[in-house]
Chains A and B, each alone.
Chain A
Amino acid sequence: MAGKIDKLSYEEALEELKQIVARLNEGKVTLDESLQLYKRGNELAAYCDKKLREVTQKISQVNKATGGEDPLNIEDSDV
């Protein structure tokens, strides 16, 4: 099994999770392995989920004069 989960990219974690599900479905693992796989799989799923939520909503615009970014206020409306 690969190393520390928080070193993985979202894509890598997702790929490993897919492989774990596939191996468990195949059923050719020992009991002990199945436990390890299950633990690892759960950690990977939680990590992917966290990655999906780690972006906080922010709306800004480029300030061409300063080169910085200014907050941009856009009112909620029905699209």
Chain B
Amino acid sequence: MVEFKSVSQLDNYIKSYLTGSEYLSDFSVTGEISQYTVSSRGHAYFTIKDPDSVMPCVMFSRYLAYTSFTPTIGMKITVTGCMDFYAPGGKLQMQVLTMKEAGKGDLHEQYKQLFERLSKEGLFAPEHKKPLPVLPRRIGVVTSASGRVISDIVNTLRKRNPYFDLLLYPASVQGENCPPEITAGVRYFNEKKNVDVIIVARGGGSYEDLFGFNDESIARAVYECGIPVISAIGHEPDYTIIDYVADLRAATPTAAAEQVMASYDDQKNMVDNLALSLDIAVNQYLTAKRNVLDMFANHKALHTPAFYAQQQLLVVDKLKTAMNTAMEAKVTRLKSEQETVMGRLESLNPTNVLKRGYSYVSGADGKAVESAASLKKGDVIGIVFADGAATGTITDTSFDDRRSS
């Protein structure tokens, strides 16, 4: 048995043992930073770990000065250096000489090359991008069947409105199966043509986690797809190749669902506004006509125009009666849908005209009959009353000369 004279001697022996070791005097290792502090003198003290083990490290300021990035906790790094025994603390630690982000160099280089090649080929061209469908009746989604992404999308759609139909193509969103399965999903929808828009989505993750979407086959499938594709990979700052090829890039899966529904909401508002504009327009039209006629009618000196005006007033009343029919159909529809515009519609409804004893005569063409002169014996006419309608045949006509002027 060896007998060390002192603790210092033991420690010194360990130091020289490490220095003499072929493996421990010059090596590299990769791990995740789990603690990181920089001392007042500028030296970095940190630990790197994997799921089972931890290694304390020190990097002196003169080496740290050459590191091109700011190390942060959770970052995966590859360090080179040697093992050292810190005698005052009785602690084994790694003395780090160089540090780089693990794998990132290579992946980023791959990404840049692919980006430049596809960009030159025109896969990212804005003029190739398709607009989203006006009315997305069916939404295709390519993402993982498990996890939050699909439920976030479905629940966002549900929150916006209940009228949607969604078809999920389950695909891996990470690892080696990701590129082929995502590609297959996009191609599936493109071949089946069974959706109006496609969302390709994945939740947030590390650079490496999202790297599957920097893939040429995915990019080409999206480019060749005849159906508009929305990409939603990771979070706001994350960009992958698919985001440049897609017709629209959404910041998150939830944002993608909202984009799809925004188009729907726009349409709903447009139809509602047009229906309202139609009512307003026809009312303004009739009011304007009526005002002109009232003016003539009140002017007793102008006999001929007065006759004309009276006749036209009857036409207006007939017209309003017929409008009433159209209005009532509309009111019934709106009622059944519990719309709140009911009150407004009824306020402009020119009812009671028929109830006052007027009736409305229509010709074979369905148009209002405005003149006896336009009818002849044998013509079939329709008569609309307050409580129903009747059909009749003209047996005779008489013609009032004064009123025809």
Contacts and interface: CB of A to CB of B under 8 A. Distances in A.
A42 B164 contact: no
B271 interface: yes
B114 interface: no
A46 B155 CA distance: 29
Interface in A1-55: 10-11, 14, 17-18, 20-21, 24-25, 27, 29, 31-32, 34-39, 41-42, 45-46, 48-49, 51-55
B271 A74 contact: no
B163 A55 contact: yes
Interface of B is mostly: helix
A8 to B, nearest CB: 13
A39 B162 contact: no
Interface in B151-173: 151-152, 154-156, 158-159, 162-170
B156 A79 contact: yes
Contacts of B145: 61, 72
Contacts of B158: 57, 76
A51 B270 CA distance: 13
Q: Which of A34, A36, A45, A76 has the most CB of B within 10 A?
A: A45
A56 B288 contact: no
Contacts of A46: 330, 333
A76 to B, nearest CB: 7
Nearest to A61: B168
A53 B312 CA distance: 41
Given A31-B316, A52-B264, A45 B166 contact: no
Nearest to B156: A79
Interface string B274-294: 110110011011101100000
Given A53-B163, A56-B163, A74-B151, A21 B274 contact: yes
Nearest to A38: B282
Given A42-B326, A52-B163, A61-B168, A32 B275 contact: no
B326 A38 contact: yes
Interface in A63-77: 64, 69, 72, 74-77
A63 to B, nearest CB: 9
B108 interface: no
B91 interface: no
Contacts of A75: 151
B282 A34 contact: yes
Interface in B255-309: 264, 267-268, 270-272, 274-275, 277-278, 281-282, 284-286, 288-289
B373 interface: no
B271 A49 contact: yes
Contacts, number: 134
Interface of A is mostly: helix
Interface residues of A, number: 46
A53 to B, nearest CB: 6
A5 to B, nearest CB: 13
Interface string B156-193: 10110011111111100000000000000000100000
Given A31-B315, A79-B159, A55 B137 contact: yes
B285 to A, nearest CB: 5
Contacts of B284: 25, 27
8 contacts: A29-B285, A31-B289, A34-B282, A56-B165, A57-B158, A59-B166, A74-B151, A74-B154
> Closest 4 CB pairs between A and B?
A24-B281, A45-B275, A61-B168, A41-B278
Given A31-B316, A42-B275, 19 more contacts: A10-B134, A11-B134, A14-B274, A17-B271, A21-B281, A29-B285, A31-B289, A31-B319, A34-B286, A34-B319, A35-B323, A42-B329, A45-B275, A49-B272, A56-B163, A61-B145, A62-B168, A62-B188, A79-B159
Interface of B: 134-135, 137-138, 145, 150-152, 154-156, 158-159, 162-170, 188, 254, 264, 267-268, 270-272, 274-275, 277-278, 281-282, 284-286, 288-289, 312, 315-316, 319, 322-323, 326-327, 329-330, 333, 367-368
